[in-house]
Amino acid sequence: MKPAFVFGTRPEIIKLAPVIRAFEKRGIEPLIIHTGQHYDYEMSQVFLEELELHKIDYHLEVGSGTQANQTGLAMIKIEKVLMDEKPDVTLVQGDTNTVLAGALASVKLKIPVAHVEAGLRSFDRTMPEEINRILADHASEVLFAPTEEARKNLEREGIVEGVYVVGNTIVDAVLQNAEVAERKSNILEKLGLKPKGYALLTAHRAENTDSEENLRKLVDIIKSLPIKVIYPVHPRTEKRLKSLGLWEELEREEHVTLTKPLGYLDFLKLQKNAKLVLTDSGGVQEESIILDVPCLTLRYNTERPETVKAGGNVLVGLEKDRVMHYVERLLNDEEFYKKMANAENPFGDGKSGERMVDILLELYEKGELKVKS
Which residues bind to ligand UD1, rule: CB under 6 A? 9-11, 37-40, 43, 64, 95-97, 128-129, 204, 235-236, 239
Comparing CB distances to ligand UDP, the nearer of 14 and 78 is 14
Q: Which of 284, 316, 341, 360 binds ligand UDP (CB under 6 A)?
A: 284
Comparing CB distances to ligand UDP, the nearer of 122 and 140 is 122
Tell whether the torsion through CA atoms of 70, 72, 74 and 77 is positive or negative.
Answer: negative
Comparing CB distances to ligand UDP, the nearer of 11 and 162 is 11
* Residue 34 annotated among the catalytic residues of the structure: no
Instruction: Decide: is 240 part of the binding site for ligand UDP (CB under 6 A).
Output: no
Please identify, among the stretches 27-35, 101-109, 116-124, 283-291, the one whose residues bind ligand UDP according to the rule CB under 6 A. Answer: 283-291
Which x/- pattern, by CB under 6 A, does the window 206-235 give for ligand UDP?
--------------------------x---
Instruction: Decide: is 35 part of the binding site for ligand UDP (CB under 6 A).
Output: no
Comparing CB distances to ligand UDP, the nearer of 166 and 262 is 262
* Cα Rg of the chain (Å, integer): 20
Tell whether the torsion through CA atoms of 126, 127, 128 and 134 is positive or negative.
Answer: negative
User: From ligand UD1, ligand UDP, none, which one binds at residue 264 (CB under 5 to 8 Å depending on kind)?
Assistant: ligand UDP
User: From ligand UD1, ligand UDP, none, which one binds at residue 240 (CB under 5 to 8 Å depending on kind)?
Assistant: none
User: From ligand UD1, ligand UDP, none, which one binds at residue 40 (CB under 5 to 8 Å depending on kind)?
Assistant: ligand UD1
Please identify, among the stretches 58-66, 142-150, 208-216, 279-287, the one whose residues bind ligand UDP according to the rule CB under 6 A. Answer: 279-287
Q: Which of 141, 172, 287, 306 binds ligand UDP (CB under 6 A)?
A: 287
Q: Under a CB-based contact definition with an 8 Å cutoff, are residues 289 and 305 in contact?
A: no
Cβ atoms < 10 Å from Cβ of 53: 18
User: From ligand UD1, ligand UDP, none, which one binds at residue 348 (CB under 5 to 8 Å depending on kind)?
Assistant: none
Q: Report the C-alpha gap between 135 and 151 in whole angstroms.
A: 16
Range 250-269, binding ligand UDP (CB under 6 A): 261-262, 264, 267
Cβ-count burial 85-121 (b if 16+ within 10 Å, e if not):
eebebbbbbbbbbbbbbbbbbbbeeebbbbbbbbbbb
Least separation in angstroms between residue 334's CB and ligand UDP is: 27
Cβ atoms < 10 Å from Cβ of 194: 10
Q: At what angle do helices 212-224 and 320-332 cross, to 10 degrees?
A: 30
Comparing CB distances to ligand UDP, the nearer of 12 and 149 is 12
Comparing CB distances to ligand UDP, the nearer of 82 and 307 is 307
Query: What amino acid is encoded at 331 in this protein?
Result: L
β-sheet bridge partners, residue 33:
6, 58
Query: Which residue is catalytic, options 115, 204, 234, 255?
Result: 204
Catalog residues that contact ligand UDP under the rule CB under 6 A. 10-11, 14, 202, 204, 232, 261-262, 264, 267, 281-284, 287
The residues assigned a catalytic role are 204
